[in-house]
Amino acid sequence: MNLRYFVARSPHPMARSARVVVHALRDVSVPAPRPLVLPVVRAWSATQSVYYFLKRKLIAEPFLKAQCARHGRNVHTGVFVHWVSGSGDIVLGDDVMLDGKSDIMFGALFPERPLLEIGDRTYVNHRCAFVVSRRITIGADVYVASNVRFLDSPGHPLDPVARRAKAPPPPEAVRPITVHDNVWIGMDVVVLPGVTIGEGSVIATGAVVTKDVPPYSLAGGVPARVLRSIQPGEGGDATWAHVRAPEGDAGG
């Protein structure tokens, strides 16, 4: 008989006694006198901060920079090492922040090397993914919230016969993505092949962007559509309530 099942279910006196002991241990609350515990908490927090700082400066940031074809000044990461697979070029501008852990996947579908280019002062949050077979260009001063996906290739052909034959997608299905300057992309957004997002636009949380978004537009939905225009300099209002801001440092 499985011991765990015996202890959890058996009416045997030994099993019942074991269950009483387990429940009693679960209910134990260890006292935490502040004068004794607080210094330990602070020491632990300081040790953790030093560990994360060293991991960021000595491992995560150098690993990313080493895989760039070119990068600017003050490129920073969180504490996680970004996953880069395939063969392609990464070009980062000045003051770029790739926070948390993102995936950069290059597809070798064409003679020219695929390119991921991210402009000055752009911030990319945790769990983002870039699937690059031709080119993905992100402009300057762009905010990308967590769990955003950029795919310039569908990955597989639509034709079931070609898909069964393990063929790559046709060249016309692989189209570059361009995100212009000062764009804000909310959480869980998917940007599909061939899309251009105009300057100053906002993409609401959870949108699937299948076609171009004009400059200074608020877009959302599945598939995404323009909800209204944005006038530069206008104040916020309730229309923005469903747009999620980029989150803080995922690394701690």
Kindly list the catalytic residues.
156
State the DSSP H helix or E strand holding residue 161, giving kind and residue range, or none if neither: helix 160-164
CA torsion sign for 155, 158, 160, 166 is negative
**Residues 133, 106: Cα–Cα separation, whole Å:** 6
Alpha helix positions (H), 56-139 = 61-66
Give 37-63 as a 3 state SS string.
Answer: HHHHHHHHHHHHHHHHHHHHHHHHHHH
**Residues 198, 178: Cα–Cα separation, whole Å:** 8
